[in-house]
Homo-oligomer: A and B are copies of this chain.
Amino acid sequence: MKIQIDQAITQALQRHGLRPTRARQLILALIEQDNQHYTPEEMLVRLNAMGERLSIATLYQNLAKLVDKGLLVKFVGLDGEYRYDYNKMPHHHLICKSCGRIVDVLVDQTLDAIEPQLMDADGQKKLPPGWKILQRRVDFIGVCPDCSQHGTDN
């Protein structure tokens, strides 16, 4: 399986003021076509498997740049490891405790429902006063359908 670099990726890079170099095209193409939330290390393994070579230093540099320009989002996995994700709609993650699989959960407006609830549910103030909430980090941790079936509970 070869990696496919289409026109859209090149254009996306240029639109964000980045030169469409091979390294950047590879990174974006990989994340897009695999639709995964890889760590840097995992990206390298995957790229190697597809016959593509990339220096680890280059990978890190470009990930930082892609995040900086808003093309990717960097987030922290369950064990503190960094993972990267396309910058899609505001969304959260559904993480399988058993196999580590991560799935996006698109929750645009829905999460806005949480905050007021925290503020005054059953008479108690749950959030201390005076704080300005800018964003929320919400991850759901559970067991994916595949792992449930195989009884690989962990």
Task: List A residues at the B interface (Cβ < 8 Å).
Answer: 76, 78-82, 94, 96-97, 103, 105-107, 110-111, 113-114, 117-118, 121, 126-145, 148
Q: How far is the CA of A122 from the CA of B148 in the complex (A)?
A: 28
Q: How far is the CA of A148 from the CA of B131 in the complex (A)?
A: 8
Q: How far is the CA of A19 from the CA of B126 in the complex (A)?
A: 36
Question: How many identical chains are in the complex?
Answer: 2
Establish whether residues B110 and A126, one from each chain, have CB atoms under 8 Å apart when the complex forms.
Answer: yes
Establish whether residues A135 and B141, one from each chain, have CB atoms under 8 Å apart when the complex forms.
Answer: yes
Establish whether residues B127 and A94, one from each chain, have CB atoms under 8 Å apart when the complex forms.
Answer: yes
Given contacts A134-B143, A137-B137, 10 further A-B contacts (CB under 8 A): A76-B80, A97-B134, A105-B118, A107-B118, A113-B117, A114-B114, A129-B145, A131-B143, A132-B148, A136-B138
Establish whether residues B103 and A128, one from each chain, have CB atoms under 8 Å apart when the complex forms.
Answer: yes
Establish whether residues A140 and B133, one from each chain, have CB atoms under 8 Å apart when the complex forms.
Answer: yes
Q: How far is the CA of A109 from the CA of B134 in the complex (A)?
A: 23
Residues of B near A118 (CB, < 8 A) are 105, 107, 110
